A and B are shown apart, each in its own frame.
Chain A
Amino acid sequence: AQKVTQAQTEISVVEKEDVTLDCVYETRDTTYYLFWYKQPPSGELVFLIRRNSFDEQNEISGRYSWNFQKSTSSFNFTITASQVVDSAVYFCALSETSGTYKYIFGTGTRLKVLA
């Protein structure tokens, strides 16, 4: 069965610290997509990244980086030199290529960056 687990419910860091948000997924599909979204206090989910299952290259975008490891079914997200504006809830999601149109979301990790 498909599932996304974000075991960290809440993380607090001091500004400029690095922080890694964990995401572990379960799927029987060989082709699937993984996503990260950010939900600031304003409410909207902001798309951050999409990765397909055939592309295991890590990606870096500014202070954000993503580590995709199929061997451990993980798609972790690291923020380098965190800033107060990074405070939000971060969601990991899975979209399989079989079955329904669903995104399977994790329960989210609330990140608090303290000044």
Chain B
Amino acid sequence: ETGVTQTPRHLVMGMTNKKSLKCEQHLGHNAMYWYKQSAKKPLELMFVYSLEERVENNSVPSRFSPECPNSSHLFLHLHTLQPEDSALYLCASSQGHLKGDIQYFGAGTRLSVL
């Protein structure tokens, strides 16, 4: 199943810009996730939404603001980012938010902060 779509695929932004990442899942899942993937680090879970409610916020700086308007869509709003925020941002979804549920990932947004 590759039913998770992320846009844009690439994004370059200045430190004072505001931009948003979008994720859409076509799998009928109830849980959605944002991950950050930096070079040579394990994937870092940022946010978890289940049935449009945020159930996990992993001490993410407030310059990252998630939004989940419905179970199919997830956004990550970005403002006043730092160069160290440059990374691949991956969205995932799963049927539920139970431990052991298989997560299906999108192709990611490659973000560069100048």
Interface of A toward B, CB cutoff 8 Å: 4, 32-33, 35, 37, 42-47, 50, 52, 91, 95-98, 100-108
Within 8 Å CB of B45, what residues of A? 101-103
Residue among A45, A96, A97, A104 with the most chain B CB within 10 A? A45
Inter-subunit contact A45/B105 (CB<8 Å): yes
User: Does B103 reach chain A (CB closer than 8 Å)?
Assistant: yes
Inter-subunit contact A107/B99 (CB<8 Å): no
Q: How far is the CB of A75 from chain B (nearest CB, A)?
A: 14
Inter-subunit contact A44/B102 (CB<8 Å): no
Which residue from A37, A43, A50, A107 sits with its C-beta under 8 Å from B42?
A: A107
A45-B90, A47-B103 given as contacts; is B108 within 8 A of A101 (CB)?
Answer: no
A103-B45, A105-B42, A107-B41 given as contacts; is B108 within 8 A of A44 (CB)?
Answer: yes
A43-B88, A105-B42 given as contacts; is B100 within 8 A of A100 (CB)?
Answer: no
Within 8 Å CB of B1, what residues of A? 47
Inter-subunit contact B40/A101 (CB<8 Å): no
Interface of B toward A, CB cutoff 8 Å: 1-2, 4, 9, 31, 40-43, 45, 48, 55-56, 88, 90, 92, 97, 99-100, 102-108, 110
Distance in angstroms between the alpha carbons of A35 and B1 in the assembled complex:
16
Inter-subunit contact B100/A44 (CB<8 Å): no
12 examples of A-B residue contacts, CB within 8 angstroms: A42-B107, A44-B4, A44-B106, A45-B92, A47-B105, A91-B43, A96-B99, A97-B100, A101-B45, A101-B48, A101-B99, A105-B42
Inter-subunit contact A106/B42 (CB<8 Å): yes
Closest to A102 in B: B45
Which residue from B4, B55, B102 sits with its C-beta under 8 Å from A50?
A: B102
Inter-subunit contact A101/B56 (CB<8 Å): yes
Distance in angstroms between the alpha carbons of A32 and B100 in the assembled complex:
7
Within 8 Å CB of A102, what residues of B? 45, 56
Which residue from B88, B103, B106, B107 sits with its C-beta under 8 Å from A103?
A: B103
Inter-subunit contact B102/A35 (CB<8 Å): yes
Which residue from B9, B97, B102, B106 sits with its C-beta under 8 Å from A101?
A: B97
Residue among B1, B9, B103, B106 with the most chain A CB within 10 A? B103
